[in-house]
Amino acid sequence: MASKLIQKTLQLQREFSKLVITKNHLPKKIMSICGVDVSYSEKKAFCSAVIIEKNTMDIVESVRVSETIIAPYIPGLFMLRESRVILKALKKLKSKFDVLLIDGNGRLHPRLCGLASFIGIKIDKPTIGVAKKLLCGKILQDNMIEYDDQVLGYVMEHQKKKIYVSIGHKINLKRGSQIVEDLILEEKWYPEPLRLADLDSKLFRKGKTQKFLN
């Protein structure tokens, strides 16, 4: 059964990779940005989605969703493990957002469709993948990341920590990278919507009701 599910997911990634839009479909003025992240216990996934106002970095809304884990951790198959709980969290949000940031890869993926691309297609919104580890490809001198003779990502470094940015959906790499760069506060290394979602998902996992401790 597990093998069949994995094969089905691999095929779905290949099919969805053809649906990814790599041109900008952004509003003229970006007002709000959402970040979503998932933390885990042994048997449960704890997801937090946080919307911030782009200019002030103030929190507009945050939601939490948890569910039982249905798939193991397999590199390149985050879609199988995280997409259900992420989609549930995004559906729970009452406020609108212009761009979504996801802790994971988009086009920078062996099948050109990581979690960020899959979620972007499912919700039909501009989406950016921001990964903490390099899943595939080689870093070029200009910090671009090449895989299979295509430039699919961009690496940036703050506070001696690297993140790997790639197109999720309905955005190009240059614009996506600039948005991520603009969201990294001084003395931080991670874009603010994802930093807050990461913090909150961990607090949620620990059973704490207080949110966004630094």
- pTM for the model stands at 0.93
Running DSSP on this structure, what letter comes out for residue 75? T
- For 151, the token pair is 């430039």
Amino acid at 121: I
Contact (CB, 8 A) for 154 and 141: no
Assess whether pLDDT exceeds 90 at residue 174: yes
Q: What's the whole-number average pLDDT of the chain?
A: 92
Please write the tens of the pLDDT for every residue from 120-144.
999 999 999 999 999 999 999 999 9
Query: Going edge to edge, which strands form the sheet with 150-158?
Result: 59-68, 44-53, 32-40, 99-103, 127-131, 161-169, 150-158, 144-147, 138-139
In terms of phi and psi (left: phi > 0; alpha: psi -120 to 50; beta: otherwise), the region of 14 is alpha
| Tokens of residue 191, six digits | 């874009």
Length of the chain: 214
- Between CA 63 and CA 51 the distance in angstroms is 9
**pLDDT per position as a tens digit, 144-172:** 999 999 999 999 999 999 999 999 999 99
Report d(CA 189, CA 87) in Å as an integer.
26
- Residue 162's pLDDT is 97
Q: What does the pLDDT read at residue 1? A: 40
Q: What pLDDT score does 135 carry?
A: 93
Calculate ∠ Cα 64-177-134, nearest 5°: 75
Tell me the domain boundaries of the chain: 2-205
Checking if the pLDDT of 2 tops 80, the result is: no
Give me the residue label for tokens 């042994």. Answer: 42
Averaged pLDDT for residues 9-17: 88
The architecture (CATH level 2) of 2-205 comes to 2-Layer Sandwich (3.30)
Q: Please state the rounded mean pLDDT for residues 105-117.
A: 95
Per-residue model confidence as pLDDT tens digits over 37-75: 999 998 899 999 999 999 999 999 999 999 998 877 777
13-17, 20-24, 117-121: least confident range = 13-17
Which pLDDT band, with edges at 50, 70 and 90, does 104 fall under?
very high
pLDDT of residue 73: 76
Percent with pLDDT over 70 in the chain:
97
